[in-house]
Structure 1
Amino acid sequence: MTVLAGKAVVITGAGQGLGRAFAVHAAAEGAAVVINDVDEPLAGQVADLITSRGGKAVVSAGPVQDPDQAEAMVGTCTAAFGRIDGLVNNAGIRYQAEIGQDDPRDMRELIEINVLGTLYCTNAAVRSMGRGSIVNLGSVAMVGQPTALTYSASKGAVASITAGAAAELHDKGIRVNAICPVAWTRMAAADTLAGPSGPPPETIAPLVTYLLSDHAARITGQLIRFANQKLHVMGQTSPREPVLEREAWDVDSIAEAFERQLVPEDPARVRWGVGR
Structure 2
Amino acid sequence: MGGDGLTVLEAKRVIITGAGQGLGRAYAVAAALAGAAVVVGDIDAEAAEQTVEAIRASGGRAVAVTGSVAEWAVAQQLTARCVDEYGGVDGLVANAAIMRNADPWDDTEEDLRAVAEVNVLGVQFTARHAMRAMVESGRGGSVVTVVSGARDGIAGMSAYGASKGAVAAMTANWALAGRAHGIRVNAISPLGLTRMSQADHRSDRPPMPDPSRVAPLVTALLSDSSAPLTGAVLRFDGTALGTYGSSLRTVATSSTGWRAEDLAAALVEEAAQ
Band of TM-score, shorter chain: over 0.9
Q: TM-score, length-normalised on structure 2?
A: 0.93
Cα deviation, residue 227, structure 1: 2.4
* Mapped contact 2:189–2:234 kept (Cα < 8 A): yes
**Which residue of structure 2 aligns with residue 255 of structure 1?**
264
* Mapped contact 1:144–1:153 kept (Cα < 8 A): no
Cα deviation, residue 228, structure 1: 5.3
Q: Which moved more, 1:204-213 or 1:143-152?
A: 143-152
Cα deviation, residue 104, structure 1: 1.2
* Mapped contact 1:198–1:228 kept (Cα < 8 A): no
Deviating above 6 A after TM superposition, structure 1's stretches of 4 or more consecutive aligned residues are none
CA–CA separation in structure 2 for the residues paired with 1:235 and 1:196: 22
**Which residue of structure 2 aligns with residue 56 of structure 1?**
61
CA–CA separation in structure 2 for the residues paired with 1:29 and 1:204: 15
1:240/1:49 CA distance change after superposition, 3 Å: same
Q: Which runs of 5+ in 2 are unaligned?
A: 1-5
Deviations 1:47-82 (A, max 9, x none): 111111111000111100001100000000000000
* Mapped contact 2:115–2:160 kept (Cα < 8 A): yes
**Which residue of structure 2 aligns with residue 198 of structure 1?**
208
CA–CA separation in structure 1 for the residues paired with 2:262 and 2:29: 58
Which residues of 2 match residues 12-91 of structure 1 at below 5 A?
12-91=17-96
* Mapped contact 1:47–1:59 kept (Cα < 8 A): yes
- Partner amino acid, structure 2, of 1:127: R
* Mapped contact 1:34–1:58 kept (Cα < 8 A): yes
Pick from 105, 116, 122 the counterpart of residue 100 of structure 1. Answer: 105
- Compute the RMSD of aligned alpha carbons: 1.4
Confirm or deny that 1:143 pairs with 2:152.
yes
Cα deviation, residue 103, structure 1: 1.1
**Which residue of structure 1 aligns with residue 3 of structure 2?**
none
Q: Which runs of 5+ in 1 are unaligned?
A: 266-276
CA–CA separation in structure 1 for the residues paired with 2:218 and 2:151: 20
Q: TM-score, length-normalised on structure 1?
A: 0.92
Cα deviation, residue 16, structure 1: 0.2
CA–CA separation in structure 1 for the residues paired with 2:79 and 2:254: 51
Confirm or deny that 1:213 pairs with 2:223.
yes
Q: How many residues align?
A: 263
* Mapped contact 1:5–1:31 kept (Cα < 8 A): yes
Cα deviation, residue 243, structure 1: 4.2
**Which residue of structure 2 aligns with residue 274 of structure 1?**
none
Identity %: 43
**Which residue of structure 1 aligns with residue 171 of structure 2?**
162
Cα deviation, residue 255, structure 1: 2.1
Helix, strand or coil at the partner of 2:42 = coil
